[in-house]
């Protein structure tokens, strides 16, 4: 069953990619959607077995590398952690495949798009089922490659190409750190298999290494390098700049890759490596700080964005920050709980925004929308459900997971944990404000689109709405149904087994009442406040923006990270590149290499051609000279 689950998306990708033009667009859509849906059903069965039968397995598909002490198999590791990820990846992917049938109906390259989606799903499944770091890295790079393909799917758009390249390059920075971490693991442990590495970790706790002229604990260095990889893939602060630009890809791509699956790979990596991270308090504190900084930063930027997909993209970035600071305070299971619930409501919001864009004929500016809730009633209701879940409205899925993160950060009892609580609560308020700003500007107020008459607005087809309805059920019930399974009750949690290691058991105390009530109260109060600001009295936000231009411009320009990186890295790299091109390539390599040789041959050919006169006496003279030279050579030797 596990092998079928893993390879069905790959088979679907091959069929659609190589034989799509023979079987037709519709058959390609059916095959890819069907195969990935079967994988989703198998993943649910597997998840059921893990929950109720405590099923675990490690299936060796093939022997991959055997060289010296490096022995790596291609395996399918099934445990509690991988079973959760399998459900998230296959379930969201199957719904995105079905949704894409409607969303991409007018695109001439549907077979290529469906092939990319299925290939991405296979790479992600490879990543989460790995039992060693090398297979994990293979899947890691696979999803990065597919992300590049899908972001730049409309390759005739310069902005799409630029976004794809940006995503690829920024991720390479994180991947470089991740690769160094894997090299260091092999250097220290002589293996890259999870079980063997995790067993040996306690033996190197006091070992120090000289790195960049500084003596640092080996365990801290490993964890920091692994976390750098997670930062790139999960768009954390400093390596986040690629995620908003990635919205240039089709909306289903945003829902699949940049909401529910690929960007959660970094969180999965940290949780999978909890037996290593638990021995590095320094790295856990760094993870907490980076996570809460990302959560706050992305929320502030989302407040002033006008592109509907970029607002949700920054929301994703912010929620990933929550997951990381949950992992940073040692609540790995809570991080996975938020990852699980977030997949439902964030995919719902992305696909809902796609439904809006589809109805507005590719318009993405929320200032060009408004007053369409009666024209798009189903999309409106479904996006409100996603927004309520995202903001942590009481008793929806986001409420349970976000509250758990804040509570466990408080119960951690250290300074970093308390800071994380404050940032988390304030960020929750910001999240609620920008989320309702999106809803009110998109569906309420006055109709502002000048290109399309409101009478022309039509609701999306059922093939697009059905995935939204299914996701809305997860957004409503996932938190309530799975809270005890993921977090446990009264300190008891048998679900995770050995897949997550807790060196310091999580606190079983109850947090103060004010911690429990503050966030829900702020979330509820933000709804009428947002309605007043963005529907009833729009002059207040305009006045605030005009009277605080430096702050407003700072947020609109995303804290000027792109401009800063452009000055520090991009322009500098261009200057170095131009210098090496003009001096080394043109003046040295080309001059003395291919250009020089071809020029020399050309000149010699021109000289030699002068002997080709057509006169017999000249040819005879040349023969005589050659014969004389040959005789002289033979006599001398």
- Quick check: 424 pLDDT over 70? yes
pLDDT of residue 493: 66
Q: What is the pLDDT of residues 128-180, one digit of tens each?
A: 999 999 999 999 999 999 999 999 988 888 888 999 999 999 999 999 999 99
pLDDT of residue 489: 64
Which residues share a beta bridge with 617? none
pLDDT of residue 625: 84
- Quick check: 560 pLDDT over 80? yes
**CA–CA distance, 361 with 612 (Å, rounded to integer):** 71
Q: What is the pLDDT of residues 516-525, one digit of tens each?
A: 899 999 999 9
Mean pLDDT value across residues 91-102? 92
Q: What is the pLDDT of residues 445-457, one digit of tens each?
A: 888 888 888 888 8
- The two beta strands, 214-217 and 70-78, are unpaired
pLDDT band at 326 (very low <50, low <70, confident <90, very high): very high
Q: How far is CA 385 from CA 207, 396, 445, 535, in A?
A: 51, 9, 20, 20
Q: How far is CA 488 from CA 331, 403, 483, 507, in A?
A: 12, 15, 7, 12
**CA–CA distance, 142 with 124 (Å, rounded to integer):** 8
Lowest mean pLDDT among 235-244, 282-291, 501-510: 501-510
pLDDT of residue 587: 80
pLDDT of residue 492: 56
Cα angle at 309 between 304 and 311, to 5 degrees? Answer: 30
% the chain with pLDDT above 70 = 99
Long-range contacts of 47-50 (CB under 8 A, 24+ apart): 47/83, 47/84, 47/86, 47/87, 50/78, 50/79, 50/80, 50/83, 50/495
Mean pLDDT value across residues 344-371? 90
pLDDT of residue 415: 86
Contacts of 595 (CB under 8 A, 6+ apart): none
- Quick check: 548 pLDDT over 80? yes
Per the CB < 8 A criterion, the answer to whether 473 and 391 are in contact is no
Per the CB < 8 A criterion, the answer to whether 429 and 525 are in contact is no
Half-sphere exposure of 340 (CA within 13 A, CB side): 29
Q: What is the pLDDT of residues 224-278, one digit of tens each?
A: 999 999 999 998 998 988 888 888 888 888 888 777 788 899 999 999 999 999 9
Q: What is the pLDDT of residues 603-631, one digit of tens each?
A: 888 877 777 777 777 778 888 888 888 88
- Quick check: 417 pLDDT over 90? no
- Quick check: 582 pLDDT over 80? yes
| Burial status of residue 149 (CB atoms within 10 A of its CB: 0-12, 13-18, 19 or more) | buried
Mean pLDDT value across residues 413-439? 92
**This model's pTM is above 0.75:** yes
């Amino acid at each position: 069953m596990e092998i079928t689950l893993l390879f069905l998306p790959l088979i679907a990708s091959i069929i659609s990619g190589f034989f799509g033009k023979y079987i037709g667009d519709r058959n390609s859509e059916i095959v890819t959607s069907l195969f990935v849906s079967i994988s989703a059903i198998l993943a649910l069965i597997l998840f059921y077995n893990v929950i109720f039968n405590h099923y675990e397995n490690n299936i060796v598909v093939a022997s991959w590398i055997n060289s010296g002490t490096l022995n790596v198999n291609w395996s399918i590791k099934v445990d509690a952690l991988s079973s959760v990820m399998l459900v998230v990846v296959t379930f969201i992917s199957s719904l995105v495949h079905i949704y894409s049938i409607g969303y991409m109906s007018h695109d001439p390259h549907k077979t290529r798009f469906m092939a990319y989606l299925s290939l991405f799903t296979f790479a992600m499944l490879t990543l989460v089922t790995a039992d060693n770091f090398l297979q994990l890295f293979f899947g890691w790079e696979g999803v990065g490659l597919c992300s590049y393909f899908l972001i730049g799917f409309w390759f005739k758009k310069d902005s799409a190409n630029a976004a794809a390249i940006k995503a690829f390059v920024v991720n390479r920075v994180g991947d470089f750190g991740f690769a160094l971490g894997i090299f260091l693991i092999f250097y220290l442990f002589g293996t890259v298999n999870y079980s063997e590495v995790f067993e040996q970790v306690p033996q190197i706790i006091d070992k120090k290494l000289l790195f960049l002229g500084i003596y640092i604990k080996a365990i801290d260095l490993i964890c920091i390098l692994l976390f750098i990889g997670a930062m790139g893939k999960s768009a954390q602060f400093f390596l986040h700049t690629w995620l908003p630009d990635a919205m240039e890809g089709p909306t289903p791509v945003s829902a699949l890759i940049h909401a529910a699956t690929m960007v959660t790979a970094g969180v999965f990596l940290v949780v999978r490596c909890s037996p290593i991270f638990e021995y590095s308090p320094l790295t856990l504190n760094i993870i907490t700080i980076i996570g809460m900084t990302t959560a706050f930063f992305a929320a502030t930027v989302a407040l002033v964005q006008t592109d509907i997909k970029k607002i949700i993209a920054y929301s994703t970035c912010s929620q990933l920050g929550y997951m990381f600071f949950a992992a940073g305070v040692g609540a790995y299971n809570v991080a996975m709980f938020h990852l699980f619930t977030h997949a439902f409501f964030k995919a719902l919001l992305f696909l809902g925004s796609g439904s809006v864009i589809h109805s507005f004929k590719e318009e993405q500016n929320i200032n060009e929308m408004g007053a369409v809730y009666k024209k798009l009633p189903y999309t409106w209701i479904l996006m409100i459900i996603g927004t309520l879940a995202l903001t942590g409205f009481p008793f929806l899925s986001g409420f349970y997971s976000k509250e758990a993160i804040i509570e466990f950060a408080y119960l951690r009892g250290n300074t970093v944990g308390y800071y994380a609580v404050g940032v988390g609560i304030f960020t929750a308020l910001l999240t609620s404000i920008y989320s309702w700003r999106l809803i009110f500007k998109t569906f309420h107020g006055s109709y502002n689109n000048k290109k399309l008459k409101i009478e022309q607005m039509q609701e999306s087809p059922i093939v697009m709405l059905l995935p939204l309805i299914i996701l809305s059920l997860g957004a409503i019930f996932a938190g309530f149904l799975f809270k005890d399974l993921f977090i446990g009750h009264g300190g008891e949690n048998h679900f995770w087994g050995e897949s997550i290691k807790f060196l310091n058991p999580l606190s079983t105390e109850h947090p103060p009442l004010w911690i429990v009530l503050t966030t829900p109260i702020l979330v509820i109060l933000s709804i009428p406040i947002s309605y007043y600001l963005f529907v009833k009295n729009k002059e207040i936000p305009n006045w605030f923006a005009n009277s605080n231009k430096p702050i407003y411009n700072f947020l609109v320009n995303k804290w000027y990270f792109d401009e800063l990186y452009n000055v520090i890295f991009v322009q500098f790299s261009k200057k170095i590149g131009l210098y090496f091109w003009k001096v080394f390539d043109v003046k040295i390599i080309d001059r003395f290499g291919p250009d020089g040789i071809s020029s020399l041959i050309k000149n010699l050919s021109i000289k030699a051609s002068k002997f080709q006169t057509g006169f017999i006496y000249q040819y005879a003279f040349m023969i005589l000279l050659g014969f004389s030279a040959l005789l002289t050579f033979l006599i001398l030797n």
